[in-house]
Amino acid sequence: MATSPTTRRSRNLKLLGSAAWGLLALSLIFIFFVAREADDYPGGGPLQRIFYFHVPSAWVAYLAFAVVFISSIAYLRTSERRWDLLAHGAAEIGVLFTSLVLITGPIWARPAWGTWWQWDARLTSTLILWLTYLGYLFLRSLTRDPARSGRLAAVVGIIGFLDVPIVHFSVRWWRTLHPSGPTPADPTRSSGLGGPELLAFFTALVAFTLLFAWLLATRVRIGRLEDEVDRLEIEAERPDRGPASGIPVST
């Protein structure tokens, strides 16, 4: 029997969710039971395990804001509602994961550096990134006209993305307290991770990436449902005027 595209999409989403949560559970086993504990220096010991979810959170935030950037350009060019929904969902998830970065980082820094926060380039540029996309979400909530808020938000989404390379390369461009891994200028610099630690790290990285894909697909689906509810509510209020105009149709 042939399945409808909606049923197929729903089944794929469930599969993606199962893979993401399954791999996340596996990565927790690797993080806590397979990866060896780092030497007991400030920031090392059990504290070093924060790295296994702090870095993947930062990666997902980069990925999410890259999706906002691309979708916003596509929306400004085409005005298709699906790009706006994608950008909005990705921004929400990006803000969530940047929040996690900004929470788990200081929790590591307090015992490692003796302070919660330093106004250094990496930390400050990350805070600016978080505030920019928080502003993006706030801007979207200001108006009920989806086309207007979509266009305004798209501009902020594109400009905000300029901070992502600054966040990433800040540890190379400026002298910062934030640890950095191997760089093209110093490729021999060891990350200090052995086989089990790399296994835990990359499993967490893939799990977080799948989780991002699942969250984004779910968020976009909710956006489509919201559009459909708005459309039907307006039609119910004005039965004599025919189909509602001005309500975006998700494609």
Partner 1 sequence: MSSLGWMITAFLCAGAGIGGYVSTLVVRERRLTKHLDTLRKGS
DSSP 172-202: HHS--SS----BTTBTT------HHHHHHHH
Determine if 126 is a binding residue for partner 1 (CB under 8 A).
no
Name which of 187, 168, 157, 166 is nearest 55 in CA terms.
168
Determine if 250 is a binding residue for partner 1 (CB under 8 A).
no
How far is Cα 173 from Cα 160, in angstroms, rounded to an integer? 19
Query: Closest separation between CB of residue 84 and partner 1, Å?
Result: 18
Determine if 53 is a binding residue for partner 1 (CB under 8 A).
yes
Beta carbon nearer to partner 1, 178 or 221: 221
Query: Closest separation between CB of residue 78 and partner 1, Å?
Result: 26
Stretch that binds partner 1, among 3-11, 117-125, 157-165, 216-224 (CB under 8 A): 216-224
Contact set for partner 1, span 83-112 (CB under 8 A): 93, 96, 99-100, 103-104, 107-108, 110-111
Query: Closest separation between CB of residue 4 and partner 1, Å?
Result: 16
Reading the block at residue 66, the tokens are: 């890259």
Q: Distances in Å between the alpha carbon of 115 and those of 51, 54, 57, 142?
A: 18, 18, 22, 37
Phi, psi of 183 (to 5 degrees): -125, 160
Beta carbon nearer to partner 1, 186 or 233: 233
